[in-house]
Amino acid sequence: MKIAVYCGSTPGNDPFYVQTARELGEWMGTHGHELVYGGSNTGLMGAVADGVLSAGGRVTGVVPNVAEIQGRIHRGVTTLIETETMAQRKSKMIELADAFIALPGGIGTLDEMTEIISLRSLKILQGPVIFYNMKGYYEPMKAVLSNILQHGFGRTEYFSEILFAERLEEIAQLLEGTDLCP
């Protein structure tokens, strides 16, 4: 399975985030899943890619032609795809992926995941959508989705298949339970 992972290109303020990102990557590589991600060698992005590679897995980095990002390209990726814009990068990652996971990240991560949720609600996109809620990081996102429903701006079916996972085991169970897994 090709899994798009969206996350910060910075490490955050707790080493737990980097450690957990690397563990996810190691699990992916060990289980034959390919990482599709933003192509950075820094922060959680670099950690998840390093984890996949250390376990013998494949990594596809999708990198836009943005100077700030070009300076952080992970040179160890299996495949590097360069796009002209951030919008093209988002589209390419969605096109390549069978499943979508968000680790902690910033505005870019939220932008990418809200697009995934929107496309799923319109039935344009399928595949599992998972927020890795390590240390409660995505509790505010849960509250936003609940607020949307409470005020009648969405339907339960839009969000019913979004998983907020506290542990890697929950992610593994969901992904291994889909028909996308080898």
Instruction: Select from 112, 115, 100 the least CA-distant residue to 64.
Output: 112
Share of the chain above pLDDT 90, in %: 86
Q: What is the pLDDT of residue 171?
A: 96
Secondary structure class of 79 (helix, strand, coil): strand
Stronger pLDDT, 16 or 182, i.e. the higher one: 16
Residue 17 has pLDDT above 70, yes or no: yes
10 Å CB burial of residue 63 (0-12, 13-18, 19+) is: buried
Residue 32 per-residue DSSP state: T
Residue 36 has pLDDT above 90, yes or no: yes
pLDDT digits (tens, 9 = 90+) for 47-106: 999 999 999 999 999 999 887 787 899 999 999 999 999 999 999 999 999 999 999 999
User: Domains of the chain (ranges plus CATH)?
Assistant: 2-114+121-128 (3.40.50.450)
| Average model confidence (pLDDT) across the chain | 94
Strand-pair category, 2-6 with 99-102: parallel
**Spatial contact of 32 and 52, defined as CB atoms under 8 Å apart:** no
CA dist 161 and 155 (Å) reads: 12
pLDDT digits (tens, 9 = 90+) for 160-177: 889 999 999 999 999 987
CA dist 99 and 12 (Å) reads: 24
129-132 sheet: strands from edge to edge: 79-83, 59-64, 34-37, 2-6, 99-102, 129-132, 162-165
